[in-house]
Amino acid sequence: MLHKTKKPQQRAELPEQAGAAQPLPQGDFAVYVAARGFEHDLLAELGKRVLAQRGRLVLARGARPAAWAHNVWLRPQWLPIQSVGDAVRQLKGIQRNWSLHIPPEHIRRAKLIQEQLPHVSAKAQVFGQPMPAGKLGAWTLWAPELLLASPATTSPYADGEVLFEENKIDPPGRAYLKLWEVFTLLQCFPQAGELCLDLGASPGGWSWVLGKLGATVLSIDKAPLAPQVAALPTVSSCQGSGFELDPRDAGAVDWLFSDMICYPTRLLEAVQRWLAHGQCRNYVCTLKFQAETDYETAQAFAAIPGSRLLHLSCNKHELTWVNLACWREAATQG
């Protein structure tokens, strides 16, 4: 059971010009697609750079990584249109593949336009296969006679949501999808024989993924693993607290995973101990927030050299912190 130690933080307010009658941003701006239900977190993250907001779309100065955005439109442009046919002609004139971000209004008109654009296959992602290679632009109908469209985006998935062909039989629960997504996006994952510590492992979705990759997995949780995960030959488990494991006793570790339910501040202290000891190469940890988002601690994680903070498609009120040895080296050298 978690107890509150912090004063709840204020929800971020929209800037004044993000109301209904907002001037259209021009020049150097990008469009950020907020994780569903986390628009206020994205607004807080982008802060004073925000120029306008409509539903899940936040227009802000500059294109930079944003944890609470699933996709960033890198080269947005305003396209006045005279008709549905004109919209189709203009979008096709820029490139073939477009995905529609469904607007809060004029949905029927937007769908009519999308239906006349070349079909883009939206097959579920199969784990282990590379991300779609084709260029996927994104667009929306901002007003009945105005498109906002970007031929370049940071994600090859529509609205940045990775939908997997799920395995509903073997893993216990759906948490395994978080690791599938991280490994697919990073195109990097534990190799056979690498040592992985999985803290907060029960019922065992993450250990199942890691064990199936052939990694040597030590799962730690106060609760037991599901029997089918405990039975994997590459997985061994230990019942207890992940915080009690002292990095000095662990030796060389290839990957440290944590999906423990705990305050982000407590996780940060633990991660700092592991980093200071210098014997663990790669980290994937979930920061789980309670009623209020702890922006300060999220920022402290993001500030660790070589870090990325992501909201994954199946993350709830949480962020996934990833730190790889190769990124740390690049960040500290450059």
Ligand X SMILES: C[S@@+](CC[C@H](N)C(=O)[O-])C[C@H]1O[C@@H](n2cnc3c(N)ncnc32)[C@H](O)[C@@H]1O
Chain residues in the site for ligand X (CB under 6 A) = 173, 175-176, 199-206, 220-223, 241-243, 259-262
Smallest gap, in angstroms, from Cβ of residue 240 to ligand X?
7
If the CB atoms of residues 95 and 167 are measured against ligand X, the closer one turns out to be 167
User: Among residues 155 and 258, whose Cβ is nearest to ligand X?
Assistant: 258
Q: How far is the CB of 281 from ligand X (least distance, A)?
A: 20
Q: Residue 181 CB, nearest distance to ligand X (Å)?
A: 13
**Least CB distance to ligand X at residue 98 (A):** 35
Question: What's the closest the beta carbon of residue 41 comes to ligand X, in angstroms?
Answer: 20
Q: Is the dihedral of CA 300, 304, 306, 312 positive or negative?
A: negative
Q: Nearer Cβ to ligand X, position 88 or 175?
A: 175
Shortest distance (Å) from residue 24 CB to ligand X: 43
Asked if residue 185 lies in contact with residue 310, where contact means CB atoms within 8 angstroms, the answer is yes
Q: How far is the CB of 75 from ligand X (least distance, A)?
A: 37
